[in-house]
Structure 1
Amino acid sequence: MTSPSSPPPPADPVHLRGPVPPQGPAGPWAGQPTGWVPPPPPPGAWSPVPVPVAPNGQPLASFGDRLLAFILDTFLVGAVALIFTIPLMFVWLFMISNWNQSQSAAYGDPYHEPTPDDLLGMFGLMFLVVGGMFAINLLLTYLYFVEYQLRRNGETIGKRVLKLRVIKVQPGQALTRGDLTKRWAVERVVAAFVPFFSYLDGFWQLWDKPLQQCLHDKAAQTVVVKVG
């Protein structure tokens, strides 16, 4: 006599499995129950600092990078300015020498003290030479920080070396000559006439939040970003 056959096993024995235990957190906190929250770090523990970004999402340039780019650009412009100002200095020295000789010849006394009119003429020449040197420096900085930077999409040589670029605060807006002229006027022209303004302008980035702008950035509504 044959024994009755066993019932066939179900096609899918899922219903025979027990409940799946909830999965806890992974990583160093593996094994903890679901919903468990790691304890806060102890006071003074290191935590990553988020990189500040511009409104378009690009990281903002650091104070150190901007300072190095400023030093490099100032050195380059100053080197070019020397090409024009050194001849003016020689012209000035030549004019002073001729003036002294003419004074001695006119009065026949090498120790003769010049008259107020003579001194006025000498200082007038000195003012012209110094004014000419100042005008040359301003013109060169304008050509470099406005015209050259405009054609290089917001980059000077110093900024290109440090991988920086000037952009508008408002995403999508194009940088214009007017924007760069405002930056140049505040950074260079105002600083040439207001004592210690260049230091205030440069250090302003350290406490300006959230865009880390200098005063010349605020005047032109621009920021400097890291592009590499």
Structure 2
Amino acid sequence: ARSAAAPALPERQETPRTAEPARPEAGGWARQVQQLAQQQPAQTSASGSSDAPAPWKPPKDDPFLRAARDQQGRPAPLGRRLAARLVDTLVLGAVVSAAAVPLWAKAVEHIDAKVEQAKQSGETVTVWLLDGTTGGYLAVVLGVLLVAGVVLEALPTAKWGRTLGKRLCGVRVLDIEAHDTPRFGAALRRWLVYGGLGALGVGVVGALWCLVDRPWRQCWHDKAARTFVAAGKR
């Protein structure tokens, strides 16, 4: 008998049937939600871990964060700044006066001698108050003022951020970007601008600029040095 192999028929692919969602009974949604809410804590305690986010808790007071905020500083009250400037001015003025008063007496004697000599000549003579002698005295006084300003203002500002007056009044000078003690270059520039504006007669305007400046209450010498006066512990 001759046997012939029957051709293989392709298997029929059965299309997966999607399970129809169970139709909840009337009024059964609230019951199912309640059951799921009761099952979730039980599953969490059994597995020991859960992907659910932890509940939000208000942050506690971090002493390190508070210290960082305090270190950043805020603009000092204008009354304390004015008191500190008055103390620094008195100290600087006392040092400069110790050298200027004797030289002033010598300059007056020199000018009186020139005037007396002009009277004895019997001619109309122009007496210049500023000559080689009095100009030398003035240069000495300016040199003392510059050196005293560097020693009493720039160096303490660069090292501690405060002068004697600022220490007594509880304020300090900070860099406006780093909120830290300024470098010596910035402290020196701050003092030179302050002293130069004072010598030109506009120092009061530059110092009073802090009344209208916002938000750091900067004077002109603070803007030149990119600093501000902050409230700090004494």
Report the TM-score when normalising by structure 1.
0.62
SS at match of 1:212: coil
TM normalised by structure 2 equals 0.61
Q: Could you tell me which residue of structure 1 aligns to residue 142 of structure 2?
A: 134
- CA offsets per residue over residues 36-91 of structure 1, 9 Å max, x none? xxxxxxxxxxxxxxxxxx99542321111111111111011001111101110122
1:214 corresponds in structure 2 to: 219
| Number of positions where the alignment pairs a residue of Structure 1 with one of Structure 2 | 164
SS at match of 1:167: strand
Q: 2-side partners of 1:144 and 1:98: how far apart?
A: 37
Q: For residue 28 of structure 1, what is the aligned residue in structure 2?
A: none
For the pair shown, the structure with the greater C-alpha radius of gyration is 2
Which residue, 123, 130, 147 being the options, matches 1:123? 130
Of the structure 1 ranges 142-151 and 200-209, higher mean CA displacement relative to structure 2 is found in 142-151
Equivalent residues of 2:171, 2:230 under 8 A apart? yes
Cα distance change, pair 112–143 in 1 and its aligned pair in 2 (3 A): farther
For structure 1, which segment, 64-73 or 200-209, has the greater mean C-alpha deviation from structure 2 after superposition?
Answer: 200-209
Match for residue 112 of structure 1?
122
Deviation, 1:157, is: 0.7
1:83-122 correspondence to structure 2 within 5 Å: 83-99=98-114, 103=117, 110=120, 112-113=122-123, 115-116=125-126, 119-120=127-128
Displacement after TM superposition at 1:199 (Å): 2.1
TM-superposed deviation, 1:110:
4.1
Per-residue deviation, residues 86-124 of structure 1 (Å, max 9, x unmatched)? 1101222333355456x38xxxx74734644xx35x631
Asked whether 1:180 is paired with 2:187, we answer: yes
- 3-state secondary structure, aligned to 1:224: strand
Which residue is 2:77 aligned to? Answer: 62
What is the alpha-carbon distance in structure 2 between the residues aligned to residue 57 and residue 173 of structure 1?
A: 8
What letter is aligned with 1:75?
L
> Are residues 190 and 202 of structure 1, via their aligned partners in 2, closer, same or farther at CA, if it must alter by over 3 Å?
closer
Give the drift of 1:159: 0.3
**Letter of the aligned partner of 2:187 in structure 1?**
L
Look up the match of 1:31. Answer: none
Aligned to 2:156: 148
Shift of 1:148: 3.4
Partner letter of residue 78 of structure 1?
A: G
Q: Residue type matched to 2:150 in 1?
A: Y
Task: Specify whether residues 113 and 55 from structure 1 end up closer, same or farther in structure 2 by C-alpha distance, changes over 3 A only.
Answer: farther
Q: Deviations over 1:148-195 (max 9, x none)?
A: 3323x11111101101111111236542111101211221113312x3
RMSD: 2.6
Structure with bigger helix share is: 2
Kept after mapping to 2: 8 A contact 1:211/1:223: yes
For structure 2, list consecutive stretches of 5 or more residues without a partner in the other structure: 1-68
In the other structure, the counterpart of 2:196 is: 189
Aligned residues with identical type, % of pairs: 25
Native 8 Å contact 2:157 2:181 kept in 1: no
Equivalent in the alignment of 1:45: none
Change (3 A) 1:140 1:98: same
